[in-house]
Structure formats: structure tokens, C-alpha cells
Amino acid sequence: MVTHTQLANRAQAVRRFNRLYTQRIGVLAEGYLDTAYPLAAVRIVFELGDRGEAIAADLARDLSLDPGYLSRLVNRLRREDLIERRAAPHDRRQSVLSLTDGGREVFETVNQRSQDDISMLLGSMSEGDQRRLVKSLGVVAEVLGDRQPPVVVLREHRPGDMGWVVQAHGALYAEEFGWDARFEALVAEIVAGFLRHFDPARERCWIAERDGIQVGSVFVVAQSAEVAKLRLLLVDPSARGSGLGRTLVQECVRFARAAGYGRLVLWTNDVLLGARRIYEAEGFQITEQTPHTDFGVPMVGELWELAL
């Protein structure tokens, strides 16, 4: 049971954060993002720039704006030829709002300014602090009821990623399967060899990012002139169920085919049920099974391969 004092202290913490954040991003300025418009008006331009058009009543609801206040802002933006309004075809009592050419120019300008301002703010932080901030903001959004699906992007590796790959594998497999430090050592050896002998024409690492935070990885490395090996498939628990694991494996298959390999092979273990389902769905077949205790617990190692 939360006491009144605890609730009051937590409310003070939220208010303190609100004061800091609104000051940092400049929402209290008379003209937001160096425009002649308050924050609410710029938000209307942002929403219409993203959506293309919107019903006025829906916009008021989504932005939590009083309909009368929204109407006054829209009228101002219409007078300045930034917004146009027309009757909705399905209900002429409803208004459809969209940007004019001038409004589109304002949207592009303020959108770039916002991106630049936040990039400058992040640029003043260390890489670790950037990751902590973005991850924490994701938690805040989730707790406050944000249901927008996060965007996951795949990119090639860059400096610092391999340290994350080793740490993520070591921590995750120790927690979920009880594997000891020998597995983390194996991962470190694999990524070190990849970096030392990397051939970009025949090898590739993909890092999956969601909101700037690494949530997945996979590698294709050359085993011979004809055979490529899929290695170190990882999907963070927060990204499971999204199809990311299958997407990463499919990227490996496409790359191996395009690079001219005849076969794609991999080694996994029988306890990794999710990964095994993906491999099976993509056409891989088990060619060998060997019991072992290499990482401190008994399991069955499996070799899989796919003819390309």
C-alpha cells in the first residue's frame, strides 16, 4: 500500500523531472523552435506533417487539446496560409485539416530543428548515457500507456558493438540457461576473429536497434570458399515475439546466397527452442547431434545446414 507521504515524494520527483525537461527542450519559450508559434500550434503542424491529414476532432482528442482552443489555433494557422480545412466527405459536420505548401515548408523546417536540437543534446552525453536515457524514456512511455510499436532497424557493426555482443550473450545465457563463463569466452573469441579477419565481400554482422538501443545480432562468416557459417544469433527478451529473430536469419540467408556460397551452416543447442524453430522454418536441417557439457550444464549440440 502506497502511503500519502510516498505518493507526495514521488509526485515531487515527477514534477522535478518535468521542470528540468521542459527547460532543456525549450517548450516554455514564446515561440517554440525559434518560430512565431507556441508549442501547441507547432504540435498541430507536426501531426499534420506526419499524418498528411486529420479530422479536427480526432486531433483534439489525440493531443488532449480543448476543441475550442484547437479551433483558435487552427484559425490562426489558416489565416497565415499554413493549414487548409475542408468538410469530411463522410460527414460534412466534421472538418478535415491538412497542410498547405507553406505549412509543409514550416513542418520541414521545425522537424529538422527539433532533430538538430535533440541530436545536440545527446551529443553532449557519453555513449553509455545516451543508451541509458533512451532506454529509460522507453520505460516512461510504456508506463504512461504508449502503445506505438517500436521501430527496429538493422545495421552493420561499428566500433563498440562487439563489446555489447559479448556482454549480452554472456549475461542472457547465464540468466536463462545457467551457462558459465566459458560461453562468454567463446563469444569473445568469435567476435575477435571476425574483426581480425573481416572480409566485407563475404562476411557480415547485423546489429538490430530499437530506438537506438541494441536488441539483436547475427553474423555470417566464411568457413570455406563454398560454406558460410551463421553465428551468434541473439534477440533481447524485450524484442522477442516481434519476428526479429526470423528477420535476422533471413538476412543471413540472402547475404550468403548473394555472396556465392553453396551452403549455410550453424551450430546451436537443443535447449534453444526459439532459435531452432526459426532455423527449421527457414529450411535448415539437422546433420549432427552431440551431447556435451562445455558450458557447465548438460545439453545436446546440433549442427544444422541449408543448401543455397
Structural domain spans, the chain: 31-118, 153-307
Burial annotation 74-105 (CB, 10 A radius, 16+ → b, else e): bebbeeeebbbeeeeeeeeeebbbbbeeebee
DSSP single-letter state for residue 239: G
Confidence at residue 140, expressed as pLDDT on a 0 to 100 scale: 81
Q: What is the pTM of this model?
A: 0.62
Confidence at residue 220, expressed as pLDDT on a 0 to 100 scale: 98
Which residue type, as a one-letter code, is found at position 60? A
Residues making up the chain, counted from first to last = 308
What's the pLDDT band for 126 if we cut at 50, 70, 90?
confident
Mean pLDDT of all residues in 6-18: 86
**Nearest alpha-carbon partner for 262 in 236, 238, 228:** 228
- Over residues 156-184, the pLDDT tens digits come to 999 999 999 999 999 999 999 999 999 99
Whether 31-118 shares its CATH topology with 153-307 is answered: no
Q: Is 31-118 CATH 1.10.10.10?
A: yes
Confidence at residue 236, expressed as pLDDT on a 0 to 100 scale: 93
Confidence at residue 149, expressed as pLDDT on a 0 to 100 scale: 63
**Nearest alpha-carbon partner for 207 in 162, 272, 238:** 162
Please name the fold of domain 153-307. Aminopeptidase (3.40.630)
Alpha helices in the chain (DSSP H): 4-25, 39-51, 56-62, 67-79, 101-123, 127-143, 161-177, 181-196, 244-258, 273-281
Burial of 227 (0-12, 13-18, 19+ CB in 10 A): middle
Q: Are 32 and 26 in contact (CB under 8 A)?
A: yes
What's the pLDDT band for 147 if we cut at 50, 70, 90?
low
What's the pLDDT band for 18 if we cut at 50, 70, 90?
confident
Q: Are 83 and 112 in contact (CB under 8 A)?
A: no
